[in-house]
Amino acid sequence: MAKANKDSGTSEKRERILAAALRAFAQNGFYNTRVSEIASQAGVADGTIYLYFKNKDDLLISLFEDRMEWIIDRLSAELEAVEGDVLKRLRTFIHLHFRLAVERRDLAEFITVELRQSAKFVKEYENPRFADYLKMLHSLIDEGQRQGVLRADLDSRLVTRALFGALDEVLLQLALAEQPPEDVSDEADQIADMIIDGLLVRHDDSPPR
């Protein structure tokens, strides 16, 4: 009983620290944030943070993993709801990526800006959650190629990376915009059109999307 209480208090305290870190990183940047500020915002003693996290880099990585898990769960659920058509699922993926900028602005800024400030994160951390995210996108491209809907002459890994880069850069712009966007579905549709259909004008009766 005492143990159960302690466990639930533990996970609640951990989440409070993560939420405070997200706010602090988004506001002041990773390098300008001190662990003691996070502790004070989370309402815990400085030393408490080190019970959960080794150091600030570890806190950053844990925060990322935790939030990515949330994003991936949500993506999985939304993709599952869109049955069948792989192109529709690709569009759903793109829309959800951009909706982050509206619904979770601090998280979008964290992922596109602050995360990259940790050299450790960019160069050493293997990043299994991000790998999962890319895998979802990759498997959509692969599936489309297997079905003969997407062209198979392009390396699907390269396509996945380029597509992720396009999404990430536009998300960065949306996250940093002075006026937070209220609706990003138009941006999402245009990027989906650009990537799926390409930039060329078609002079023929192309198959409908």
In the complex, the residues that contact a copy of itself under the rule CB under 8 A are: 28-32, 113-114, 116-119, 122-123, 141, 144, 148-151, 153-155, 158-159, 161-170, 172-173, 176, 187, 190-191, 193-207
Closest listed residue to residue 150, CA positions, set 116, 196, 104: 196
Does residue 176 contact residue 168 with C-beta atoms inside 8 Å?
Answer: no
**Would you say 77 or 158 has its CB closer to a copy of itself?**
158
Q: What angle do CA 69, 85, 157 make, to 5 degrees?
A: 55
Please state, in angstroms and rounded to a whole number, the distance separating the CA atoms of residues 135 and 137. Answer: 5
**Would you say 45 or 154 has its CB closer to a copy of itself?**
154
**Would you say 16 or 95 has its CB closer to a copy of itself?**
95
For residue 79, give both structure tokens. 């993709």
Closest contact distance (angstroms) between CB of 175 and a copy of itself is: 11
Closest contact distance (angstroms) between CB of 7 and a copy of itself is: 36
The secondary element (H helix, E strand) that includes residue 17 is helix 2-28
Reported residue count of the chain is 209
Q: What angle do CA 192, 195, 77 make, to 5 degrees?
A: 45
Please state, in angstroms and rounded to a whole number, the distance separating the CA atoms of residues 178 and 173. Answer: 10
Closest contact distance (angstroms) between CB of 183 and a copy of itself is: 14
Closest contact distance (angstroms) between CB of 10 and a copy of itself is: 31
**Would you say 83 or 153 has its CB closer to a copy of itself?**
153
**Would you say 13 or 161 has its CB closer to a copy of itself?**
161
Closest contact distance (angstroms) between CB of 202 and a copy of itself is: 7
